[in-house]
Structures are given as C-alpha cells and as structure tokens.
Amino acid sequence: MPWGSRMSFVSVRGLDKHFPVRGAGWLSRRNGPAPVVRAVDGISFDIDRGRTLGLVGESGCGKSTVARCVTRLLAPSAGTIRIGDKQLDRLEGEPLRAARRDVQMVFQDPLAALNPRMSVERAVSEPLRLHTTLSPAEQRERVREILTEVGLRTDAMGRYPHELSGGQRQRVNIARALACAPSFVVLDEPTSALDVSLRARVILMLEELRERLGLTYLFISHDLATVKYLAQRVVVMYLGTVVEEADTDELFAHPRHPYTRALLAAVPVPDPKVRGEPFVLSGEIPSPLERHEGCPLRSRCPMASAICAQPVVPREVSPGHVVACHFA
C-alpha cells in the first residue's frame, strides 16, 4: 500500500527534542555549546488516515518523548508536525488548545492517568466541557454513549478510579480520549500495565474502535507481539533515531537492521519448540548523553567496523522498507 504519499494524514518531519543537561553550569560551556540530551533526533514518519503506525524501541529510545511532542505536551526543539490540515508545531495558546480536540492521547498507567478525585462521568465529560457547547444533559448522554462504546456499564459513571479494576480504568481512559470524536489518537503503551488476559480484550477493542470510528493511531510499545497485531507499519527507534521502518509483515519476516534483529531474537515466544535466532548485542543501552557521530549502535553491534563511525544515511532496501545501517 502506498504509504507516505503527500496525502498522508499525519506527517512528522525532522522532529528533534533536546533537553539541557542538569547541573551543567556555565563553566562547562566554555568549551563549546551547552551539553544537551538528544532524546529525539531527526525523526520523520507518515501515517495514512485510518491506519496504525507502530513505534517500537526499548527504554531511552525516545518513543515516549515522540508521543509527547506529537501531542504537544512537550514543545519540540525542531521539526514539523502536521495532523490533517493543522501544523501543530506552529500553534500556541488558544488555537493549540482548540486543536487538542482532534489529537488525543491514551496513557500507559491507567490508574495514574485518572484524577483520583474525579468520578468517571466527570473525567469523561471534561473534553466535552472544554470543546463543545453541549448542555450538561447532552454531555451526560454523550458520556453514556461513549462508555457503552468501550464496553463499560453506564452505572460506572458515578464510580471513582480506585473503585474500578485495571481493565475498567483503561477503558475510562480510552473513553475520555474518544469523547470529542478525535481523528488521531496516540497510544502510549496502553496495554503494558494490564494483566495478560486483559490485553487481548483491549487490543481487540482498539482495533474495533479504529475501524468503526475511522481513527488513526500512533501505537507506541515495547511489546513487539502487540505491535505486530495492531500496526500496519512499524518504525523501530534506538537512542532517539529511526533505525528501521517497514510494513509490519515485511519487518517481522525480513528484519535488516542489527538492532531489529536482536530485538526480535530476544522476545520469548510462548512455544518451547520455537527458538529465536541467537542474535545478541553486547553491553547495555548506553546513556543518551554519550551519543557520538556515526551509528548509535556502534558500541554494541557484532557487525561493527570502521565505517560505522561515519554518519548513517537511511536507505530503501525494498519498496517501503528503509534501513539506517551501512551493511543492510
């Protein structure tokens, strides 16, 4: 399928997010520019309308920072973010606030994402209060509607977060995000904090909602199996950069980047007869402060050689499959 055409619904280009290093006072700046952590470094991706893009990576790769930049919870240091016809990176103040109606986020920890002092009804009706002119009675009706959509009983409306189960809480989060009928939803590890048996239900529900309501998802997760199930296209991140990008089936069948290969090899398959290819990276994920020129995986890659000190240029190795590796 032709992704990344100019008609893509969500388009992110050259997204950067730098954080100044704490405690690095003016003395360290004598020798050059202030040290920064490049949490996100030049990320670009497209999402077609009604599709799911999976963003995978381990801790420190910057995927949560990407999520927060795309939803403008953080201000990007550089880059453009286009959602539909809105240039989100350029909006401020009231226009930004109004644009939030269309761009929503579902957070990882269902309990922490709900205000402990707000009832379910109050929490889910909040977006309606902020963005619509519905009367309180109409709001209540809409809340009932959306709670039913996510499979919650309407008598949950008066309950508080601590009175709900983990699965129910996550559904309230999803209901809140969908209350104003957004077109784009960013899901930041929505199933990671849930029990194994609950994940399947939430996954299937998210699928159904996407199809029925015509939503576009950016699905962020470290759980590759869930991403494989939900996403049509996958972006793999490492230390703030994209190392590989491809359609889901292609990526899982023919991973080209050493990091992707190592990641897939490390996922334990629930079948004792299936053993992954033993592809292992040495060492641990380095601190983002220690970024050097060239390939970020250089210090750990079994295939590393002299050329890896050179900056890597992403190459398309097959239609729609882009890899950032000198050897791919």
Partner 1 sequence: MSVLAQDIADDRDDDIVAPTARWRRAARWLRRNPVSAAAIVVISLLVFVAVFAPVLEPYKPDVPDPMAVLKPPSWAHPLGTDGFGRDVLSRIIDATTLDLSIALAATLVALSIGMVVGALSGYRGGWVDLIVLRLVDVLMAFPAFVLAMGITAALGNSIANVAIALSMTQLPAYIRLVRGEMLRVRTLEYAEAAVSIGNPSWRVALVHLLPNCLPPLTVQATLAMGYAVLTMASLSFIGLGIAPPQSEWGSMTADGATYMSTGEWWLFVFPGVAIVMTVLAFNLVGDALRDLLDPRLRGTR
Partner 2 sequence: MSALLEVEDLSVEFATDDGVVSAVDGVTLSARAGEILGIVGESGSGKSVLISAILRLVRPPGRIVSGRLRFEGNDLLALPEAELEAIRGARIALVPQTPRTSLNPLMTVGRQVERLLRLHRGMDKRAAREAAIAMLERVRIPDPKRRAGQYAHELSGGMCQRVMIAMALATEPRLLLADEPTTGLDVSIGARILELLRQLGEESGAAIILVTHDLGVVAQTCHRVAVMHAGQLSELAEVDELFERPLHPYTRALVRSIPRIDQQIALKPIAGTVPSLVNVRPGCRYVRRCPDALAACRRQRPPLIVAGNGHRVACHAVGQSNVVR
In a 3-state reduction of DSSP, which class is residue 241?
Answer: strand
Of the candidate spans 22-30, 40-48, 114-122, 258-266, the one that interacts with partner 2 by CB under 8 A turns out to be 258-266
Task: Tell me if residue 321 falls in helix, strand or coil.
Answer: strand
226 near partner 2 (CB under 8 A):
yes
Binding residue (CB under 8 A) for partner 2 from 105, 229, 257, 312: 229
Give the nearest distance from C-beta 205 to partner 1 in angstroms.
6
- To partner 2, the closest distance from the beta carbon of 289 in angstroms equals 14
Contact 235, 45 (CB under 8 A): yes
- Spatial separation of the C-alpha atoms in residues 64 and 70, rounded to whole Å: 10
| Ramachandran angles phi, psi of 37, nearest 5° | -100, 120
Of residues 274, 306, 313, 319, which one binds partner 2 by CB under 8 A?
274
The stretch near partner 2 (CB under 8 A) out of 32-40, 79-87, 170-178, 279-287 is 279-287
Among residues 82, 159, 228, 291, the one that binds partner 2 under rule CB under 8 A:
228
Nearer to partner 2, 102 or 207 (CB): 207
DSSP string over 62-89: SHHHHHHHHTTSS--SEEEEEETTEEGG
Residue selected from 252, 291, 320, 327 as contacting partner 2 according to rule CB under 8 A: 252
Q: Of the two residues 92 and 284, which places its CB atom closer to partner 2 in the complex?
A: 284
Under 8 Å between Cβ of 217 and 185: yes
Phi and psi at 50, nearest 5°, equal 75, 10
H-helix segments, the chain: 63-70, 93-99, 120-131, 136-149, 166-178, 196-213, 224-230, 248-253, 258-266
Q: Would you count residue 159 as binding partner 2 (CB under 8 A)?
A: no
Q: Is 280 in the site for partner 2 (CB under 8 A)?
A: yes
Alpha helices in 109-165 (DSSP H): 120-131, 136-149
Contacting residues toward partner 1, per CB under 8 A: 68, 71, 73, 97-98, 100-101, 104-105, 107-109, 112-118, 126-127, 130-131, 148-153, 162-165, 168, 173, 176-177, 201, 204-205, 208
Residue written as token pair 């016809």? 85
> Residue 23, interface with partner 2 (CB under 8 A)?
no
Q: What SS3 string covers 88-116?
A: HHHCCHHHHHHHCCCEEEECCCCCCCCCC
Size, binding site for partner 2 by CB under 8 A: 40
Element (H, E) at 226: helix 224-230
Q: Scanning the structure block, which residue is given the tokens 């002299």?
A: 306
Q: Is 273 in the site for partner 2 (CB under 8 A)?
A: yes
- Side chain identity at residue 80, one-letter code: T
Q: Does 231 bind partner 2 (CB under 8 A)?
A: no
Query: Taking CB under 8 A as the rule, does residue 281 contact partner 2?
Result: yes
Binders of partner 2 in range 175-214 (CB under 8 A): 195-201, 203-204
CB 200, min distance to partner 2, A: 4
225 binds partner 2 (CB under 8 A): yes
DSSP code of residue 306: G
Helix (H, G, I), strand (E, B) or coil at 233: strand
Residue 9 CB, shortest distance to partner 1, in Å, is: 19
Q: Which residues here bind partner 2, judged by CB under 8 A?
A: 58-59, 165-167, 195-201, 203-204, 222, 224-226, 228-229, 252, 262-275, 280-281, 283-285
